[in-house]
């Protein structure tokens, strides 16, 4: 059902968090009097992860990229939708299937000072996953993992504690821990954002070697588009819990379609004073994900707001005519001929019909 080399498929994933209330409020709620609010952190996200591919998840803070990443490794149970791994839907997977999935999905975190247990030596930290899945010849595997993470000679690091290591070294131990089970894919949540610039490239080259030498797939989560351009084969831009644009990195960055992606790229400062960049004045701030507006979530800030269709009809993320990337925006006519104007309720439909949907793409 999925492409031959697709490792993982995310199918309309949703994750909502109940706004936390005291026990009295939940008491009142069980009597049906109070209705709980939900934070719609991830609100219907679908994408595929192919083998040996690095997929970037980009967006401002609060857009749901980290929650999505954590749902991929089952740190969160999806509220709706599902994740398909090895042709099994994880929500229906048996315990042994879950245990096998756990061996093949690992994660690297942002803060090097918090991603290692301060009370555990490097050896214990890297060996722990092996012990959980009781895989034998632990010491040899730990050694190999540390060597791959360029912590040479590995034995010297065995008995060291995290507080004796630098930020870069800690992040390498975290990578070794993620690798030791020889997983199929790794979710990396802003792995280098807390490292000094001059040290980042060293850690990033590790992630590259993982995909090239291992055939490992990486989901790279970051707000730093220039870094993502360097690292990722494909890119997905998220806004308020949904993907607004997804496709090969070069297409998404070089000929951007969605107005939000365009604003995001224009806002990135360039480390070259001689080159100017076109400044798009985008007002306001990211919307509140508790009571979600109707239609397109970017409508309040969108420089190319068309009218009621943006206001009422949620633009689906789909193949658009004449581009390689999928875009969720009414500016473009969808390849499969879906016409958003039909869903328009009320009289306003007639007024908008006149305006042809193929108005010129907004970004030039």
Residues within window 16-75 making contact with another protein, judged by CB under 8 A? 19, 21-25, 51, 60-61, 70, 73-75
Binder of another protein out of 38, 102, 255, 362 (CB under 8 A): 102
Nearest approach, Cβ of 288 to another protein (angstroms)?
10
Scan residues 237-266 and list those touching another protein (CB under 8 A): 250, 253-254, 263-266
For 209, the enclosing helix (H) or strand (E) is: helix 197-214
Q: Whose CA is closest to 152, among 139, 161, 143?
A: 143
Binder of another protein out of 45, 174, 218, 244 (CB under 8 A): 174
For 227, the enclosing helix (H) or strand (E) is: helix 225-231
Considering the complex, state which of residue 129 and residue 340 has its C-beta at the smaller distance from another protein: 129
**Which of the ranges 8-16, 116-124, 311-319, 323-331 carries the binding residues for another protein, by CB under 8 A?**
116-124
Scan residues 333-352 and list those touching another protein (CB under 8 A): none
Q: Report the Cα 178 to chain-centroid distance in Å.
A: 18
| Tokens standing for residue 273 | 């004073």
Considering the complex, state which of residue 46 and residue 121 has its C-beta at the smaller distance from another protein: 121
**Which of the ranges 127-135, 289-297, 333-341, 346-354 carries the binding residues for another protein, by CB under 8 A?**
127-135
Number of residues forming the site for another protein (CB under 8 A): 108
Q: Is 133 in the site for another protein (CB under 8 A)?
A: yes
Considering the complex, state which of residue 83 and residue 178 has its C-beta at the smaller distance from another protein: 178
Binder of another protein out of 11, 128, 308, 319 (CB under 8 A): 128
Binder of another protein out of 155, 267, 343, 351 (CB under 8 A): 267
Binder of another protein out of 91, 132, 321, 336 (CB under 8 A): 132
| Parallel/antiparallel/unpaired status of strands 80-85 and 88-89 | antiparallel
Q: What is the DSSP letter of 163?
A: G
Nearest approach, Cβ of 314 to another protein (angstroms)?
22
Cα separation, 281 vs 291, whole angstroms: 26
Nearest approach, Cβ of 317 to another protein (angstroms)?
21
Cα separation, 229 vs 66, whole angstroms: 19
Q: Quickly list DSSP for 21-63.
A: --HHHHHHHHTTSS---EEEEEEEEEEEEETT-EEEEE-STTS
Scan residues 198-237 and list those touching another protein (CB under 8 A): 198-202, 204-205, 213-216, 223-227, 229-230
DSSP-based three-state secondary structure for 291 = coil
Q: Whose CA is closest to 194, among 235, 231, 223, 237?
A: 223
Cα torsion through 239, 240, 246, 251, rounded to 10: 0
Considering the complex, state which of residue 179 and residue 309 has its C-beta at the smaller distance from another protein: 179
| Parallel/antiparallel/unpaired status of strands 242-248 and 234-239 | antiparallel
Phi and psi dihedrals of 28, rounded to 5?
-60, -35
Scan residues 284-313 and list those touching another protein (CB under 8 A): 285-286
């Amino acid at each position: 059902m999925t492409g031959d080399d697709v490792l993982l498929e995310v199918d309309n994933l949703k994750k909502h968090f109940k706004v936390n209330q005291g026990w009295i409020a939940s008491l009142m709620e069980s009597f049906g009097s109070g209705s709980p609010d939900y934070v719609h952190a991830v609100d219907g996200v679908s994408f595929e992860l192919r083998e040996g591919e690095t997929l970037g998840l980009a967006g401002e803070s609060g857009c749901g990229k980290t929650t999505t990443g954590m749902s991929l490794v089952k740190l969160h149970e999806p509220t709706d939708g599902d994740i398909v791994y090895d042709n099994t839907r994880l929500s229906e997977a048996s315990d042994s299937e879950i245990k096998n999935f756990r061996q093949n999905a690992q994660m690297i975190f942002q803060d090097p000072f918090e991603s290692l247990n301060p009370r555990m030596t490097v050896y214990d930290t890297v060996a722990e996953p092996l012990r959980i899945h009781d895989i034998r010849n632990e010491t040899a595997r730990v050694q190999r993992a540390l060597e791959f993470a360029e912590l040479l000679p590995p034995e010297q690091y065995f008995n060291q504690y995290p507080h004796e290591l630098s930020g870069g070294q800690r992040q390498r131990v975290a990578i070794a821990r993620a690798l030791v089970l020889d997983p199929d894919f790794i979710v990396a949540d802003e792995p280098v954002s807390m490292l000094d610039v001059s040290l980042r490239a060293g850690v990033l080259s590790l992630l590259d070697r993982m995909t090239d030498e291992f055939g490992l797939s990486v989901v790279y989560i970051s707000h730093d588009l220039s870094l993502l351009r360097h690292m990722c084969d494909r890119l997905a831009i998220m806004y308020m819990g949904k993907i607004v644009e997804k496709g090969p990195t070069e297409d998404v960055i070089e000929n951007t379609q969605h107005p939000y992606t365009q604003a995001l790229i224009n806002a990135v400062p360039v480390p070259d004073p001689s080159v100017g960049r076109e400044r798009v004045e985008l007002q306001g701030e990211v919307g509140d994900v508790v009571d979600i507006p109707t239609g397109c979530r970017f409508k309040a800030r969108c420089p190319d707001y068309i009218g009621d269709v943006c206001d009422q009809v949620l633009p689906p993320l789909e193949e658009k005519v004449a581009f390689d990337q999928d875009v969720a925006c009414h500016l473009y006519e969808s390849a499969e001929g879906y016409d958003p104007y039909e869903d328009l309720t009320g009289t306003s439909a007639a007024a908008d019909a006149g305006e042809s949907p193929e108005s010129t793409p907004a970004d030039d």
